[in-house]
Chain A
Amino acid sequence: MKLLKIGISGIRGIVGDTLTPELVMDFACAFGTYMNVQQVLLGRDTRRSGPMLRSATVSALLSTGCDVVDLSICPTPILQYLVKKLKAHGAISISAGHNDANWNALTFIDREGTYLNSYQGEAILDIYHLGRFKKVSARSLGALTEKNEYPETYFADLARFLDTEAIRKAAFRVVIDACNGGGAGFTNTFCHHLGCELVPVNNEPSGYFPHEPEPRPRNATEVATIIKITKSDIGFLLNSDVSRVSIVSENSETLSEEYTLPVVASFYLNRKPGSVITNLSTSRMIEDVAGVRDCRIIRAKVGQSPCIQEMIEEDGVMAGEGSGSVAIREFHPAYDGFLSMGLVLEMMAVKKLKISTIVRQLPKYHIKKEKICCPPVKAHSIIHEIGKLYPSRKTDVSDGIKVDWRDGWIHIRVSGTEPMIRIISESRNEKKAQERLDKATSFVKKRV
């Protein structure tokens, strides 16, 4: 099976297979043509294929007349923040986030620092299909500059946004596993600004991923062990572009990535109440957390682009997903792992609570996940068919299919980033969650 995903705000594929230099150039040319702008920022994570994609993107953007400021290795949220800060007109981030090392992706970012929305994405796709890219003459080609001092600005602003004084006073010892991805090394700057002692794990920008770059319990064993040995206050795992975080508690409990959003919300919504945007697949914990604070939950399609778009349109205060992503509108409209970590640390400092205590105060749900490899051509018809399993229930089909019960829900959808069908089942009752998951899984497997 050829693996290539053309999404709303970019393309994603396996290098050496579908993601060829030409394809990268065609899409970067389409972006340059559509944006028709002066200055585009460029950043990447540490993947070994990064320089190839970077060179292809630089060449393509210059050919459409864009000036390119290459920030080299730069986490996506920092890149998004800098677009606005530097008054650039857009950005391309080269990172496949949580995907394995053989994947890579281009993500297109507009002048607001947000992922392109579906209208913009479709316009780019039209230009790509048409294949008629803007070409400028030799004298009008864009110029390339290379900078790496800008991320410092971001961290200074982040420290101003947070209650840094409180965090500094608490003098936390923090374990961060950057998975040798885009966040590697930036973790030092982060901790330096917040007066935390960093216990670095996989903190080399080598692009060699010692485990999947997906923040979740099964990748957290190393962090859990090190927390115990170093008697640290908390541990974090990052994905390769630092848009997602998962937490490990001081007593080495590896928390599901589903906890990141409700933990942050249970603190931030006190300070700034308002609507929270999340997707259909995210744990009900966030509904409970928002509910007790009289805040509204709005469910959007899965992915940074639709959720952030909804946050802006609905004037929400924050957005996030069960994948460990959180965005705070007041700071910037982007999923930001550094900001998420910062707010968790601030919460611990201000409330003078251990992370395990904070987590214990959240309602307890059991969430079960399954992903099944499935060619994209089949996936949509399978999802359409699966409605038959739930004849008597009301279903939400805005993104795959979601079915609700009093104690929980199940969501079955086509992955936006891989040729997979994802099934997520949650319930207060662990057995029910598992039963519903198994039923749906066997239905899908029979038809793949």
Chain B
Amino acid sequence: MRKQLPLKVSVSGVRGIVGDSLTPQLAARFAQAFGSYLGGGKVLVGQDARASGVMVKNAVFAGLLSAGCQPVEAGICPIPSFLVLTKERDTLGGISVTASHNPENWNGLKFISGEGLYLNFSQIQEFMDIYHQGEFTLIKADDHKAISAVDNPTQAHLKKLLNVLDVSAIRKRQFKVVTDCSGGAGAVLCPEFLDELGCETLWLNATADGIFPHPPEHIPENTLRLCRSVEENHADVGFVQDADADRLAIVDEKGIPLGEELTLALAVQYVLSKKPGPVVTNLSTSQAIEDLARTHDVPLIRTKIGEINVVEEIMRQRAPIGGEGNGGVILPAVHPCRDSFTAMGLTLESMAHTGKAISQLRAEIPRYFMIKDRIAGTPEEANKILRQLKIKYAKSGEISDLDGLKIDFGDLWVHIRPSNTEPIIRILAESKSERRAQRAVLRFKKEIAG
């Protein structure tokens, strides 16, 4: 089996391990390539809370300056705030210094267009071609620009959130909320945001110091402290943001974690009740969303995995809402990107409008059990196995090969696909019966292992 390499260049940018693959030189080359791709102009530079952000950011400055760009520093900034800012400011694009949910010793670069969107597949191809050709713009000394900075980089985002949300309805309820910012960039905006919503707040890991108290992935084991705090303090709801604040997990008023699939389901349920329209999500997201769409008699469109794929389809469909089952809620009225603040706002607004507790809202969502597992395997091996499985199961269920292989058996679906970032094959199964889902995962694991 191929080991996980310490560097990954993919459609979602560059990620590597600091002190190993992610060197200043590498970051500067990518930034210079991006500056060459943009052809100069203002480029926003933001970072998540990781301590290595200073090192990487300065390398990015050097690369951008050499390519004739004018770096505009946004500092530590939640990723949705950064995306909004890139669109609102007169900039040609942005680089976010972040490794998203990877462990603390990782960092990376994400590349953003002037519309505040991640580069799409064809844009990233074009940009990577420039990187690989290695012929970067290199301007003369006299043409060097200065570095400037943005005060209050989260304000544009906050303004949009407060415009879209029913602030007065939420304020009236004076919710008591416990939030775990995971030591990430969310901490920069979250206190101000919840304060505007009139919430009484309690905090866990709310310093953006980049010291992650728990692995920044949303899994129930990482929410134990939060669950206890919600219960002990009799809070109305608990929230966990991931390290760059694009994804959210929710804990109900009894201190029970809902599981990250529920974040989008709750948001979809609420938004469709106010404004029906198509819903867009990826192939791996819960069947519950499909049921909700059917109830509201709106189409559900599934895309390949990858945030930009969902975002582009949302824009094409003019969908009022979409997102991913990993806790990534996308409300284009705020900005077409995954946004934990939007997710929080919608959850609170839903509680305010319906007068229901979060556990009651959760009870209205069809109950499914999703089992996620993985098995070692390179994309090449995965491809071979998926071909065989496709033939074998052609008649036993509805098949989609849009991204990996998804087989819908009616009351059970299984999705098998190679990971974009690691040499593993992901296996997901979902059913109303937990045992059925578990058994399906085991069976396919065995089949893949041969």
Contact = CB atoms under 8 A, between A and B. Distances in A.
A59 interface: yes
B66 A20 contact: yes
A104 B61 CA distance: 17
A48 B142 CA distance: 6
Contacts of B106: 138
Contacts of A302: none
B27 interface: yes
Contacts of A51: 61, 65, 144, 146-147
Contacts of B147: 51, 55
> Which of A29, A52, A60 lies at the interface centre, i.e. has the most chain B CB atoms within 10 A of its CB?
A52
Contacts of B450: none
Interface stretch (A139-147, A179-187, A323-331, A362-370): A139-147
B153 to A, nearest CB: 19
Contacts of A63: 18-19, 23-24, 55
Contact of B18 (A20, A101, A137): A137
A138 B146 contact: no
Contact of B24 (A16, A59, A140): A59
Contact of B59 (A47, A55, A101, A144): A55
Interface string B53-80: 0111111011101100000000000000
A52 B144 contact: yes
B62 A24 contact: yes
A52 B61 CA distance: 7
Given A22-B28, A138-B18, A140-B19, A56 B142 contact: no
B52 A141 contact: yes
Given A135-B20, A137-B18, A138-B18, A59 B56 contact: yes
Interface string A124-153: 000000000101111111111000000000
A58 interface: yes
A52 B58 CA distance: 9
A21 interface: yes
Interface string A310-323: 00000000000000
A199 B192 CA distance: 51
A309 to B, nearest CB: 31
A240 to B, nearest CB: 13
A15 interface: yes
B51 interface: yes
A17 B23 CA distance: 22
B19 A25 contact: no
A47 B24 CA distance: 22
B139 interface: yes
A14 interface: yes
Contact of A48 (B17, B57, B105, B141): B141
Contacts of A434: none
Scoring B19, B24, B58, B106 by chain A CB atoms within 10 A of each residue's CB, the highest score goes to B24
A233 interface: no
B296 interface: no
B140 interface: yes
Contacts, number: 124
Nearest to A56: B62
Given A16-B140, A29-B24, A63-B23, A141 B65 contact: no
B138 interface: yes
Interface string A338-381: 00000000000000000000000000000000000000000000
B25 interface: yes
Nearest to A51: B147
Interface string A35-69: 00000000000011101110110111011000000
A20 B63 CA distance: 9
B51 A141 contact: yes
B246 interface: no
B242 interface: no
Contact of A55 (B58, B104, B107, B139): B58
Interface in B1-38: 17-20, 23-25, 27-29, 32
A101 B62 contact: no
Contacts of B20: 135
B247 interface: no
A71 B144 CA distance: 20
A138 B52 contact: yes
B270 to A, nearest CB: 39
Contacts of B140: 15-16, 102
Nearest to B27: A59
Contacts of B42: none
B137 to A, nearest CB: 9
A136 B105 CA distance: 10
B65 to A, nearest CB: 4
Given A48-B142, A59-B27, 8 more contacts: A16-B141, A21-B59, A22-B28, A55-B61, A59-B59, A60-B24, A101-B141, A138-B19
22 contacts: A15-B141, A16-B139, A16-B143, A20-B66, A21-B63, A21-B65, A22-B29, A24-B62, A25-B25, A26-B25, A48-B144, A58-B58, A59-B58, A59-B62, A60-B24, A62-B58, A63-B23, A138-B52, A138-B104, A138-B106, A139-B51, A141-B54
Interface of A: 14-17, 20-22, 24-26, 29, 47-49, 51-53, 55-56, 58-60, 62-63, 101-104, 133, 135-144
Smallest CB-CB A-B distances: 7 pairs: A56-B62, A55-B61, A59-B58, A52-B65, A59-B59, A59-B24, A21-B62
